[in-house]
Every structure is written in structure tokens, then in C-alpha cells.
Copies of this chain bind each other. A is one copy, B any other.
Amino acid sequence: MSTLANEIERYLKRLLDKSKKGFLEIKRNDLAEMFMCVPSQINYVLETRFNNSQGYHVESRRGGGGYIRIVKLSVEKDEDLLVLVNSTVGKMISQQSGEGLINRLEEEGFLTKRESILIRAIIDGKTLDLDVPERDLVRARILRAVLISLLREDL
């Protein structure tokens, strides 16, 4: 098997897919017990796999009756994509955030697998091979241009 973090990720994503409400509520301690790990491992998974740039919103409450709610943010219309691009791709963007965005757009059906592999190859630091901050600036311009170009009406 893969890492524990990956397994927890898969488990949660499966539950999310099954849930027709588009969100999921869990008890941090129960989940930790289920996977036989410390509770903070759950936070690690949430931070690395369910963050904003990957298309999830997480909210929680402490105390008795506490919970963690994971909401999947969906991208349905071209307008959503525009908003997303504007909020995610600023003047500069890291490779990691860029990949998160690409993965998400592939999952949402905006990009084919080939397209996402192609874009990932481009925004790879080794391909760009520039010094930061130039690299993060160019990456942002590329991502913006690519995604905007896909909104063309004639496609």
C-alpha cells in the first residue's frame, strides 16, 4: 500500500463522491482511530489534500458535538473558471499550486487527461528552468493564458 495520508485521502474522496449533498462531515477522533493514527494526521491530510487550491473548503467546530465538514467546490460554468483563475493565479504561482489547479480542472472535466499532462509538463520548474521569482511569474502568465484560451467560443 501507499502512505497512510494517501489512504485517508482516498477514503474521504470516495465518501464525498457517494454523498450526493456535495459535502461530508466527520469526527476527527473517530477517523484517526479508524486508521490507527494520531488525530493531527487528519489535519495533515486536510491541509495537503483538501485545501482551497484543490477545490475543497473545510470548516470545523471544537467542543462537544464538534465536527469537521469538507465541502467540494464545483466548477460548472465558464464563469466559474474565470473566477477561479482570477482568485488562484495571481501575479505569480508555485508549481505545487499550479498542479493543484490543473488536477482539479481535470477532475471537473474542463481538461482532458492529455491536456492536463501537457500543461503539467510546461509549468514544471525543470522545463521553465528560470530563477525565482521569474519562474513563478512566467508560470502564472502561462496558466492564465492557457485557461483563458480554452474559453474561446469557437472550440
Contact = CB atoms under 8 A, between A and B. Distances in A.
Contacts of A120: 149
A129 B127 CA distance: 16
Contacts of A3: 64-65
Interface of A is mostly: helix
Contacts of A155: 113-114, 117
A84 interface: no
30 contacts: A2-B65, A3-B65, A5-B65, A6-B65, A112-B114, A114-B115, A115-B115, A117-B149, A117-B150, A117-B152, A117-B155, A118-B146, A118-B149, A118-B150, A120-B149, A121-B145, A121-B146, A121-B148, A121-B149, A122-B122, A122-B142, A122-B146, A124-B145, A127-B141, A127-B145, A128-B141, A129-B138, A129-B141, A130-B134, A138-B138
